[in-house]
Structure formats: structure tokens, C-alpha cells
Structure 1
Amino acid sequence: MSLINIGMSGLNASQFALNTTGNNISNSGTAGYNRQIVDYTQADSQFAGVGYVGQGVLVSDVSRVYDQFLSNQVNQAQTQYSQLNTYYQQISQVNNALGSSTTGLSASMSTFFTNLQTIVTAPNNSATRATVISSAQTLTSMFQSLSGTLSSLRASVNGNITQATTQINTYAKQIASLNDAILQAQGNGTHTMPNDLLDQRDQAVASLNAIVQTNVVKDTNGSYNVFVGNGQSLVSGNSAYQMTTVPSTSDPSQMTVAYVTGNGTKVAIPESSITGGSLAGLLSFRSGALTQAQNSLGQIAMSLAGTFNAQNQLGMDLYGQMGGNFFTVPNPTIIANTGNSNAATLNASITDASKVTASDYSVSFDGTTYTLTRQTDGAKWTAGAPATPSTPLNFQDAGGAAFGDGFSVTTSGMVAGDSFAIQPTRNAAQNIGVAITDPGKIALAAPILASTPSTNSGSLKVDQGSVDASYLSNVLSAPVNFTFSKDAVTGALTLVAPSPMTVTANGVTTSYAAGATVPYNAATGAKITMSGMTVNLSGTPSNGDTFTISPNTSGAVTDNRNGLALSALQNDTTKVGGTQSYATAYASLVSFVGSTTNTYKSTSAAQQTLLQQTQTAQQSNSGVNLDEEAANLIKYQQLYQANSKVIQTASTLFSTILQIVN
């Protein structure tokens, strides 16, 4: 080969290098671009008698600088960051809705009980009674507003999940198309790699990992096979499969992710198998913080309505009538599995609002046994067939203890395999309301009044008495009189039980039948309970002294005993889940949301830092360094000039030879 050809080979090589460097500089801001370098190989030497003489340089390839390990690290960090950041962005909205201490539910609840305490001091003041109704309406409106915000957020999550599956399908088709294009480009006989297509495919995989974590397996022919979930194939060679959303079989209002098989069948993917990416963040937020926030808010609403109503029913209103419901009590939400038989029905009713938990439940039937499962901890209770469809199922745990979470279940028509979801509190905050508009129907008075006549000669004292829920089934219609007698021999004080009752003295409770002689110890006093009424006795009665329990016919206007009991509900620590007051339960909810928000904020920030570190490591290897490329431009320019000089030298030598010949 002549010196000119050697120079030309160097000239071509430097031209390739200049073009490649220019391409690197031009794409320095292109997402997913990996810098490229020119690969050189020495041309075969030629034997010249005394040895082998070099024949120049050949350009063997233009390859991209790519590290699969670093790329995988970036994708893994990206998918984790997307999940954490999506969860954080979603729960921040819940935190903003619940967190206000001045305009939120806490302030409305405080105002309601403050107004209630005001009317207790003046039970017959209709104006102050009206403020209680007004503040109760404000309180229920706040419950409804917060519940509406959370419900809207749940609907938004459903939409975002659907949008995420659409994006997944788009990237899957793009990867499959790029697989095909890469194979065709490699099939042109040159065996060179189409760097631009490879970059596009890797960028599509990275974008896909931001939505859902994938497992990429590289085929022997260079194609990417992409898998998600439990190994569902999303891309296989040049074929792309689809994901979609379908209504959950256990809750049709909730969209769940499904895989579309080759024959078009949609198979739901368990949420637990979808890890990483914004899709996993949405699913875990919906089943975690959002559900707990909705259920806990509903639990407070349910407990407030139920326990306040129960106490109001034990009082007497301004018209001398027994109190009714002050709030409308929401019913549990029942959701039938979409695969149930047509005849299957199930109903649930609240039996004790103070014991209702913030959990969801499921009821299943295997043909013989009904199983009730609490979703938060997996606790189970079982029951046999009920005597009648209207008879509540007698659920018991493995130790024989009765189910005690504040609601009962009736069912009919269930066959083996049927199941229902029970959400006792999910929609309770949305459905709470004020049941009365007449301020006079607030039951501030107690329905009974215990008293002693002025003719008694002893020191007997009785309180005014109180009632419990069992009183409602046997409301007192006439006075009940009690007379003390002194035994002539022993001097013991006794009275005759007018009806079955219990007496508690010195911590010991004894039951007596109607007409039985009941001893009385003046040193300890006694608590008498009869037909849902309780009266406390103290002092020493004389022989023949009496006391009476009467309907409170004259105290409707001035009596405030039930009003005091209603007011005391505010600080009763047994009214929400049996362990908290209304205010502390709401504070716990706000604290949970706030702490969870802060946790995801910090973990998201930490993961973002890790992502940036892995991206920096990848870019230091595969990214375009403009300073380095500028230096390469100078180097390859000089290389180009040097090879031009070789050609010029060869031309000069050739001209000299021609002159000698001439």
C-alpha cells in the first residue's frame, strides 16, 4: 500500500473520530444517550522482503460506552424512588386535609361540646339549645367534607392506576418494536450495533421501571424479554403483552391491575406482587394509609353518633318524652363478591358503636361454616348456620369467646364459595348527619327522680338516680316505693324488693327476687339496681322511713342530669374502640397521617439522593463530558492535520520522482 493510502486511512479514521465527537457533543442533553467512541484496528501488514510494513488503520466499529451493571443500579434506584415519592405525594394530600388545628374537625368537635356544656347550665333556654343543633350540623358537615376529600382521592388513585397501565402498555410496545428494529439492523451483514436504537430501548426500559419494577432478561440474539409481577411476560422478543385494570371481585368500586393473556383473558395480579414504581406506590397507599384514614375517620363518626344517641335516648326532652336519635347513625357498607350466587344476601348492624374498630372484615361460607375475618390482623371467628335468616350469626373464636367488635351479621342464601366484604366505618363519616331540627328534643333531663319524704325521721339519703340501656325496655310509668323495717329482735334494717333487683354493698353484689327481704347496712350504704334504674343510698333510716323512685314528670324543664352525661362523653376514654375519646382518636389519626407523611418524605429524599448517586456513577462512565469532548476535538483535529501532512508528503515525493524522470 502506498504512503498516500496509509495517510488516507488515517484521514478517514480521524474523520470518523471527529464526527463521533461532534455527535457526542450534540447529544449531551439527550435523555438516555450513551457517549460513543470509535474503535480502531490495525490494517494487515504487508511483507516487503526485509520485514512487514504497516498498511494504515481501519475503523472497526463505533461503539457506545455502556455498563449494564450501572444501568441496572439506576433502574433499581429509580423504581424505588418512584414508589416512595408517589406514596409521599398522595399521603401529603391526606395530611393537608386532616392537619388543621383551627379549622378542622378537632375545632368543630370542641365547639359542639362547648355549646352543649352551655345549655346544661340553662336547660330551658331555647336559644342556646339551637346553637347545639347548629354546631352539630357544622360538625357533621366537617365529617362529610373530610370524607368527601378522601373519597375523591380514592377515585383519583383509581384513575392514576388505569393511566399507569396505559403507560406500561405504551412502553412495552415501544420495547418490542425496538427489539425488532435492532434485530433487523444487526441482520444487514455488518454485525455492528445500532447505538441509537439501543439507547432508545434502554431509555424505554428506564421509563418503564419508573412506573413498575421489571425484570429484564437479555436473549442470545440481543432482544430484551421483560417480566413484571409474579413473572408475567410483558415483552417477549418483538411481541408485547398488555396490562389493564378491572374492578376488584371483592370491591367493584376499586380498580385492580390485571394481565391480559394471549387469548384475551384478564387475570387479576395480586397487589403484593407489584413492587416498585409509581404503580406500587399508588396501590400500597390505597390499601395502607388511605384506607386507614378513611376507616379511622368513619370510626370516630360512627362512635360519636352511636354513643351520643345511646345517651340521648336515656334522657327526657323538653316535652317530657324519652329522647331519640340526635345523629343519624351510618350503616356498615356491605359489598358482595362478584362471583356470589344470586340468592346470597348479608346484612350487618351496629350493636355497640363504642366497640367498632377501624378495620374491614370479610365473611365467607364453605357450605358448613361461616368465617368472619378481621382484615387488619387476620383474626378469625366462625359460626354455624343461624336458626332463622333474621338471627344474627353466633361468631366465636377458637377459644369459644364471642365476637365483640360492635356489630352483628345476618345472612341468607349463601352457598359454598360465597363471600362478602364488610366495611363498618369506611363511609360512616360521609353518611353521618343531624337527625333532629327541634332544639327541644335534646334530652337533657333524666327520666327518673329518686327522693325521700320530709316525714322520714332517720338520716337516709338517696341520690336522684340514673338509668342504663335496659331501662328503655321497661320505662317507669308509676312511682315505686321502698319502706325500711327494723327487726324487733336484731334491730337490722331491711326493705322488701318490689321487683327483681341487685344490691351492691361494700363491693359485693347480691341478687334478690321480687318480694324478698333485702338487708341494709348503714355503715356501707348500698347501690340498688332494678329494671335499668340505679339509686345510691347512704345514711341510717329509721323504722318506717321510705324513699321513692318516680317518673321525672316535673323536671323536663330544669333537670340537667342527662345533659351532664352527654357532656361527659367528650372526655370518656372508652367511646372509640373501647380505648379512646373522640378527640384523642382524631388526634391519633392526625398523628398517624403526619408521622407517616414525614417518614415517606425522609425516605423518599434519601432514595432520591441514592438515585442521584447512581446516576452520577453511570454518567461518569457513559455520559458526555463536554470538557473531554472538547479536548478530543483538538486531538482528532491534529490527527486529521497530521494525516493530511502524510498525504502531502507522499504527493511531494511523487512529484520529485516525476521531475527526476523528466
Structure 2
Amino acid sequence: MASDLLAIAKSGARAARTALDVTAQNISNASSAGYVRRSVSMQEVSSGSRFSALGDLNLSGVRVSGVVRNADAFRQSEVRRTGADSARANAEVRGLENIESAIEQTQVYQSIVAFESSVQQLLADPTDGSLRAATLESARTMANTLNIASNSLDTAGKGLRFEAQDGVDQVNRIAGELARVNLRLSRASDASNDQSSLLDQRDTLLEQMSQYVDISATINSDKTASVTIGNPTGPALVVGGATASLSMATAADGTVSFAVDGSAVALSSGSIAGHAQVLTKLAETKTNLDAIAAEVVSVVNATQANGVDLDGNPGQPIFSGTTAADIGIALANGRGIATAPAGAGANSRDPGNLVALRTALDTSNPATAMDSLLFDVSSAVSGRKITRDALDSIASTARVALEAQSGVDLDQEAVNLVRFQQAFQANGRVMQVAQDLFDTLMGIR
């Protein structure tokens, strides 16, 4: 009996010590990102006896069957999915705010209104040199603000493409690390501490990757992860220890597209997808801005050609260029503004051509077009902010649910620490009792 008691107590002490080690590990990693709480799985050890009836079992202690990670695959998948949507929305908002700043803070709208106002003021006295100089200067200011707005949009586009390319590089880096973890997982012992640590790394890498692109992860029987882009039928990015390469291509208009080992792929979530969507909006905005600049150049220069300047010469173009980026002033001074109709003499006070210019500007209405462009971008920013806030809330809820299930509860771990410590001490006491019984038996005469 003493020998049986010693064996039972030994197994119990060993199990309690393992449980204490795991509990201590949980407590020390309570604030570690990506750590999943562990628990010890125990099984009773039973054996038959030649003195017992058929089918009878004798309990012979306990054994540790493994260390279990308290992870929920569904909750982890939800964190990845909602996190990817949230990352996309945040990237969109930041990019759209940059577009809004590029065309709003440069005050293009105000400069167009100021130019139209100066033309109106020149009607009061078409021969006044100061009014002519002011009109030409307001035209120059408008051209400069259009240049600055176009350059600002180009700068915003470069920043977005840089961030998108950095995201692509990060995805490829994470994919390589995940492949190495897969190889180590395929060789790790089941339910071991090493395997548990590798599984933490695997899940952390999957979550990091989902911040950049929308992925579908399949957990294989050997605990390795296979990753496809988008959905389970999308192009494979990681299979076992092998990886494919995500790449980005830039079109002439600054928009970007993506491919996996040369096969085109459409991204719908993750920060990279957000950057791509903003670049599409930026290209549209730049096209509209160029259209406004081209309309101003066309209307003003066409009207100039139909009149004569202050010296009685045929009107010459006021603006050069055809886009917001290259629009400039072609006239040397204000005397060249063709305020009088064709056939009028020098120093004519006839404002007929200036009236035609005013009418043409009212018809094309570049100020309203610019205001609509600003409103469109501002509306997009406002709408995306609402979407972002909603997706952030959903992502936070999913993360809270995961942490509640797999996170470390220090209060519970403190209870476990006391419980397993008492179990260890109790098993030590059983060993002492077994020793006392053995000594008593040996002392019988």
C-alpha cells in the first residue's frame, strides 16, 4: 500500500508542479500582446489488479496529458476580419483628409471667386491701369493656387503609394515569417509548451497580416496555417513552408493594382485596400481639377481672341497651359487684357468684350464647379468617418470577446496559484503518510 501511495502522490505532485508552472507563465505574460492563456489538461491513471474482478479498475494517480491553449478559432477569425475592415476605413479617412486639405487649404475656390470679382470691377473703368493690373494679378494668383493644389494632390498620391508599397512589403515579410513558423510547427510535439508558443506566433502573424490585406486562413491538422488572399478560393499566399509574393503596379493616373505571383488580385479589406481606394478617388479629383483649369483657360483665352487690348491690338491669351499643374500667365502686363470688342481703337472705353468674358465665366461657372469638387471630397470624408467609427466599434467588440475568452484573468490565476500550491503540499503530505505507514509496518515484531 505504501508503494502505491507513493506512486499516486508522486504523480499528483508532478501534475501540481506543472500546473503551477503554467499558472506562473500565465501571470508573467498577462500583458504580453498575442499571448493566449494556457491551462493544464490532466487525466486519471488507472490500472487493473489480479485480485480484482473482471472490468474493475484501480486508480493509480494522475498524469498531465498536455498544455491547452484557450483559443477560439471563430473569435480569432472575427478579430482578423473586423480588424481588416477597420484598417481599410482608417486608411481611407486619412487619405481623403489629405485630398481635402490639398484642395481646400490652397484656397483655389477663393482665388477663382477673386478673379471673377476683379473682372467685374474692371467693368467700372476698362482703361484704368490699376484695375487692369489687379485683374492680371488675381489671374496669376488663381493659376498659382491651381498649381499648388495639383502639386499637393501629387504629393498626397506619392505618400499613399509609399504606404501601400510598404504594406505590400510587410505582407511579404509576415508571410515569410509565417512559413518558418509552419515548418517549426510541423516538427513540434503535440500539446507541448514549444508548440503553444509557436501557435501564439502563428495567430499573431495572421492578425498582423490581416491589418494590411483581407485573408482567409485555414488551420491544418498539423496546426500549420494556409493563407489565401480574399477568400478560400483566392490565390494562395502561404502553404506550409512555401510562400508566394504580393506585388503592386502603378498605372499612369497614379492608381495601383495588385497581383500574387503575377496573378491579379482584388483587395477589399486591410489598409492596402484603403490606400488603393483613396488613390482612385485622388485620380478622379485631379481629373476634375484639371477640367476646371482647362475650362478657365479655354473660356478666357477664347474671349480674349475676340477683342482688342488697350493699345487696339488683337487680344492675346491670358493663360498658358491646359491643366491645373501647368496653368500659368502668358500676358506681360494688364494693358493686354482685351476689354473692347474687335475693331475698337486704342484706349477704347467700350467694355463689350469684357462683358462677353463676364458672361462666359457665368456660363461655365468654374467657381461652382470648384465648390462641387470640394463638397464631393468633404462629403466622402464625412461619410467614411461614420463608417470608420462603426467598424472600429465592431472591431473593438470582437477583440474584447476574444480577450475575455483567451486572455489572462489575474484574479482567476491567483486562485489557481493557491489551489495548485495546496495540491502540491497535499501530495507531499500523502508521501509523508506513506512513509509513516511503511515505517510502522517495518517496526511490527
Same-fold status (TM-score > 0.5): yes
2: CA distance, partners of 1:140 / 1:656: 107
Distance 1:246 1:591, change over 3 A: closer
- In structure 2, the residue matched to 1:534 is none
Indicate conservation of the 8 Å contact 1:20/1:38, yes or no: yes
Distance 1:307 1:268, change over 3 A: farther
Q: Deviations over 1:91-143 (max 9, x none)?
A: 1111223334xx61122122222222222211111122111111111111100
Question: Which one of the candidate residues 234, 237, 245 is aligned to 1:234?
Answer: 237
Distance 1:304 1:268, change over 3 A: farther
Residue 562 (structure 1) aligned with residue 353 (structure 2): yes
1: CA distance, partners of 2:121 / 2:253: 47
What amino acid sits opposite 2:379 in the alignment? S
What amino acid sits opposite 2:294 in the alignment? M
Indicate conservation of the 8 Å contact 1:209/1:277, yes or no: yes
What amino acid sits opposite 2:122 in the alignment? I
**Counterpart of 2:246 in 1: which secondary structure?**
strand
**Counterpart of 1:211 in 2: which secondary structure?**
coil
1:245 offset after TM fit, Å? 2.8
- In structure 2, the residue matched to 1:30 is 32
Bigger RCO of structures 1 and 2 (CA < 8 A, at least 6 apart): 2
1: CA distance, partners of 2:345 / 2:148: 41
Residue 613 (structure 1) aligned with residue 400 (structure 2): no
**Counterpart of 1:227 in 2: which secondary structure?**
strand
1: CA distance, partners of 2:7 / 2:436: 14
- In structure 1, the residue matched to 2:267 is 274
Indicate conservation of the 8 Å contact 1:91/1:597, yes or no: yes
Query: Where in structure 2 are the equivalents of 1:357-396 lying within 5 Å?
Result: none
1:180 offset after TM fit, Å? 0.4
- In structure 1, the residue matched to 2:14 is 12
- In structure 1, the residue matched to 2:64 is 59
What amino acid sits opposite 1:312 in the alignment? Q
**Counterpart of 2:444 in 1: which secondary structure?**
helix
Stretches of structure 2 that go unaligned for 5 or more consecutive residues are none
- In structure 2, the residue matched to 1:173 is 176
**Counterpart of 1:553 in 2: which secondary structure?**
coil
Larger Rg: 1
- In structure 2, the residue matched to 1:216 is 217
1:297 offset after TM fit, Å? 1.3
Indicate conservation of the 8 Å contact 1:306/1:329, yes or no: no
Higher mean Cα deviation, 215-224 or 595-604?
Answer: 215-224
2: CA distance, partners of 1:247 / 1:430: 20
What amino acid sits opposite 1:614 in the alignment? A
- In structure 2, the residue matched to 1:441 is 336
1: CA distance, partners of 2:137 / 2:400: 60
Residue 285 (structure 1) aligned with residue 239 (structure 2): no
- In structure 1, the residue matched to 2:312 is 320
- In structure 2, the residue matched to 1:553 is 345
- In structure 2, the residue matched to 1:84 is 89
Query: Where in structure 2 are the equivalents of 1:486-525 lying within 5 Å?
Result: none
Query: Where in structure 2 are the equivalents of 1:391-430 lying within 5 Å?
Result: 428-430=323-325
2: CA distance, partners of 1:37 / 1:298: 64
- In structure 2, the residue matched to 1:411 is none
What amino acid sits opposite 1:209 in the alignment? S
What amino acid sits opposite 1:201 in the alignment? R
Indicate conservation of the 8 Å contact 2:46/2:57, yes or no: no
Residue 623 (structure 1) aligned with residue 403 (structure 2): no
1:439 offset after TM fit, Å? 0.9
Provide the TM-score with structure 1 as the length reference: 0.63
1: CA distance, partners of 2:349 / 2:279: 51
Question: Which one of the candidate residues 429, 436, 441 is aligned to 1:645?
Answer: 429
Provide the TM-score with structure 2 as the length reference: 0.93
**Counterpart of 1:603 in 2: which secondary structure?**
helix
Residue 305 (structure 1) aligned with residue 285 (structure 2): no
Indicate conservation of the 8 Å contact 2:75/2:401, yes or no: yes
1:247 offset after TM fit, Å? 4.4
1:282 offset after TM fit, Å? 1.0
What amino acid sits opposite 1:595 in the alignment? S
1:17 offset after TM fit, Å? 0.8
Indicate conservation of the 8 Å contact 1:315/1:562, yes or no: yes
What amino acid sits opposite 2:44 in the alignment? Q
Residue 157 (structure 1) aligned with residue 152 (structure 2): no
Distance 1:34 1:72, change over 3 A: same
Kindly report structure 1 stretches of 4+ aligned residues shifted beyond 6 Å.
none
Residue 107 (structure 1) aligned with residue 110 (structure 2): yes
2: CA distance, partners of 1:170 / 1:81: 22
2: CA distance, partners of 1:641 / 1:443: 104
2: CA distance, partners of 1:232 / 1:434: 52
Q: Deviations over 1:279-327 (max 9, x none)?
A: 111111111x212211111111111111111112212111112212111
Question: Which one of the candidate residues 42, 48, 59 is aligned to 2:44?
Answer: 42
What amino acid sits opposite 1:306 in the alignment? S
What amino acid sits opposite 1:430 in the alignment? A
What amino acid sits opposite 1:619 in the alignment? E
1: CA distance, partners of 2:379 / 2:148: 23
Distance 1:252 1:434, change over 3 A: closer
1:241 offset after TM fit, Å? 1.6
1:268 offset after TM fit, Å? 5.6
- Structure that is richer in helix per residue: 2
**Counterpart of 1:37 in 2: which secondary structure?**
strand
Stretches of structure 1 that go unaligned for 5 or more consecutive residues are 261-266, 331-427, 448-550, 576-580
2: CA distance, partners of 1:141 / 1:222: 61
Q: Deviations over 1:29-68 (max 9, x none)?
A: 2222111110000011342735643211111101101111
What amino acid sits opposite 1:285 in the alignment? V
What amino acid sits opposite 1:116 in the alignment? V
Indicate conservation of the 8 Å contact 2:67/2:191, yes or no: no
Residue 72 (structure 1) aligned with residue 64 (structure 2): no
Q: Deviations over 1:493-549 (max 9, x none)?
A: xxxxxxxxxxxxxxxxxxxxxxxxxxxxxxxxxxxxxxxxxxxxxxxxxxxxxxxxx
- In structure 1, the residue matched to 2:140 is 137
2: CA distance, partners of 1:268 / 1:443: 58
**Counterpart of 1:431 in 2: which secondary structure?**
coil
- Cα RMSD, aligned residues only: 2.0
Q: Deviations over 1:145-176 (max 9, x none)?
A: 11101011112222222211111111111111
1:194 offset after TM fit, Å? 0.5
Identical counterparts, % of pairs: 27
What amino acid sits opposite 2:171 in the alignment? I
What amino acid sits opposite 2:344 in the alignment? N
1:567 offset after TM fit, Å? 2.8
1:22 offset after TM fit, Å? 0.8
